[in-house]
Structure 1
Amino acid sequence: KIRWQQDPMIKALDDFNISSEGVRELRFLLYGPVGAGKSSIINTINTVFEGNHYINCLTASALTGDSFTTKVSAPVVKNFAFYDVMGLEEGVYKGVHPGDIINAVKGHIPDDYKFKYNAPIDKENTNYINKPTLNDQIHCLVSVIPADKITIINDGVIQKMKEIRAEASELGDGFMTRVDQVCIMTQRDITKIYQSRKIKEKMMECSNRLGVVMNCIFPVKNYSDDNNPNEKLNCLMLEALTQIVQDRLMSYHKTYHI
């Protein structure tokens, strides 16, 4: 059950401190197909913390099928960095190369790196980080899937996502976006999201196609045309973010003492 009060969750995340001296922030990398809502998630998180509608991260058009983000970028909220990359697309020479995402997770790709469709970064590239520190690495890899399109996402794109997850299986969580587009009850009242049979079915489909366990899939709704703060929407995102942070900290405390 979601705690529908945002202030305690915001305070808990505001008070979050990283104990490792070698890590400046907890780093998240969002990846998924074009139009999944990666940039919109970052906009929504910034909106929650800033208290104003945040539109700094431009978003891709789901209608054109083209990926907007061509550079890795990281808006930072408190001690969290959220990296956005260009979308995965069907075909060898379209969208971000899975190898680039894997290299980013391992810390070999610098901030603000510009991706090339047909030339993933390698050790010969002058931008390649040969000896990445823990602060260069990604601490949480987040799959982003649109609930209303999970059924029709091309198998080639799903396979690319599986390849990426296979290289970072211990880091994986998932955001399932656009939940209001598949459930009228949720569209009317976002607090009913975990009571919706339709949402649960979509979460199961997402789990089956990607191989992400159900309790690591978080259904969310992003700000889109909403100009006014929405506490219910905020709470849904905060609950998901809080759970992901707690899960990652449990994992990293065992290994890196973050």
Structure 2
Amino acid sequence: MNSRCSICLETLGEGNSPMTTLCGHLYCVDCATYNFASDDATCAICRRPHTLDELIKLYPDYERAKEGPSTSTGRLGVEAVGNDLLEACRTVLQKDAVLDEAALRPALARADHLVEELSEHEDDAPYIPNLLSNIIEVLTDIRSKFEQASCIPALEADRDKYRVVARKLSHKLKEAVRSREAERLRFGVELAELRAECSAQASELQTKLQETSSALATDRAKLEASFAVAKELDAQMKQCRTQAARYKKKYYALRKEHDTYRNGVEDAFFADDTFEIVD
């Protein structure tokens, strides 16, 4: 057995009479007597309140005695009581409420019965360590289950707290959903109005565009006609300029010819300077 005292850490074995609390922590008899002497004593490991009388003495006596004729009968009685205790402890392990008083009462009663049997058969020490080792193993399992069960209140408190938070968040979520739904409906109405307004403006602009396109086509036709007239007038103007230039040349040629004839007439008929032709 490698179990140690929870206070002095000495290996529990012959001579130090190990004892256990209901929470499953082990002590030697000296440390248990010192630690649980006062009325407000608590477990040195988990701080659960206990009294010295509530502790279970696992090994009442380790002294070996000479075997007598009653050894076989006493051993069978102790083994039967020990097996009953093991069975009661295993039954406790199978239940959800490990520290429930109703669940622990049969196991505690069988533990007291085992202590009485061990006290009456002190000479049966050779097989007692094996029996108590099995009991300690079961008690260790109970202690492990108790440590797990000790977390349940804190977990339940956290669960209740989270439920409250969840309810608040759920309420806020519902309010937010209702608010968003109202905003969505309001925005839907505004969007429909904007769509109607945009549709009306688009229709008006389309009408103006058609009118403008028609006017532009008319003006373009007029402009093209004006360009044609201007082109024709330009051609006529060029033709007139050409004719004017031709007429001008002809005019100067005729004038020159006229001047020549005039000078010839003057030379022929008016050689004398006394007769002067006045223009």
Pick the TM interval, shorter chain: under 0.3
Structure with greater Cα Rg? 2
**Quick check: which one's helix share is greater?**
2
**TM-score normalised by L of structure 1:** 0.27
**Quick check: which one's strand share is greater?**
1
Higher RCO (C-alpha under 8 Å, 6+ residues apart): 1
